[in-house]
Amino acid sequence: MFTLLIILVVVSTSCNGAPSLRIFENSPENVARLQNLQPGDLAEELSGQFEGDMILTDEQYLELFRRNGMIANKYRWPENTVYYEIEEEYFTEGQINYILTAMRTIERASCVRFRPRDPNNPDYIRVHGDGSGCSATVGHIGGSQSIKLQPYELDQGCFRMGSIIHEFIHALGFRHMQSTYNRDEYVQIEWENIQPGTEHNFLLYEADKVSNFGTEYDYGSIMHYSSTAFSINKQKTIVPLKPTKETMGQRVAMSEKDIFKINRMYNCFLKGATT
């Protein structure tokens, strides 16, 4: 089992009483790769944050050993409503429409609702394109939160529809599929193929704080890493242990289990929502 490395982070202290965030400085190598993505590359895996694209609070960072969807109600958006503000100066009209379409896609599949921020909403997601790669804060943490989407042509990089949805699902409170508590029953991590210094991205979370909400492991989850994530030699770092026709790391659409888990987390079935 891998031993957690100590890694240097840049800590940004939020104002207005919002939690402090642990923001990693992206590597020059990742920044260069983001400018020239190759087939199979996922921009969110190259974004330099924890597990590639998750911006954690200090509390979340110190609770590293967790699994896929966080249990604590404090990380769920009150009244199933997520307020957002798109900083339009970063994006074209087409890119803004893609961001809005991603939100509408989640809405159609659940009882979660996205609403433009107004001055009465101190807790909201700031959608912006500042910096490299794509990343998101995880769950409802209060104050101004972040979804970063480096501008790309539509259907590329951070502007693949599935990648935008992936970041919004992080913002709802979900982490990556392959770090769930029972993943070793379903995948084998090929540690020798992982870039030295990035092994922490494959931490195995404990089962006491987060939940898979009654579903089995989902190779086809939109929240799963690709099979070559963080590879040093282009060989697989994640190998399925059970027969599957699903593509690990797909960014086409939410899987049925992704949709089910969002609805379970936000109690949509109790509210009469259909999926």
Residues classed as catalytic: 167
Give the orientation angle of helix 161-172 with respect to helix 256-265, to 10 degrees.
30
The amino acid at residue 55 is I
The amino acid at residue 81 is T
Please list, in sequence order, all residues whose beta carbon lies within 8 angstroms of the beta carbon of residue 105, skipping any fewer than 6 positions away. 161, 165, 254
Contact between 56 and 50 under an 8 Å Cβ cutoff? The reply is yes
- CA trace torsion 56, 60, 61, 64 (10° rounding): -120
What is the rounded distance in angstroms from the CA atom of residue 142 to the CA atom of residue 231? 35
DSSP code at position 74: G
Which of 107, 119, 55, 117 is CA-nearest to residue 86? 117
Which of 156, 203, 193, 162 is CA-nearest to residue 52? 203
DSSP string across 123-157: SEEEEE--SSSEEEE-S--SSEEEEEE---STTSG
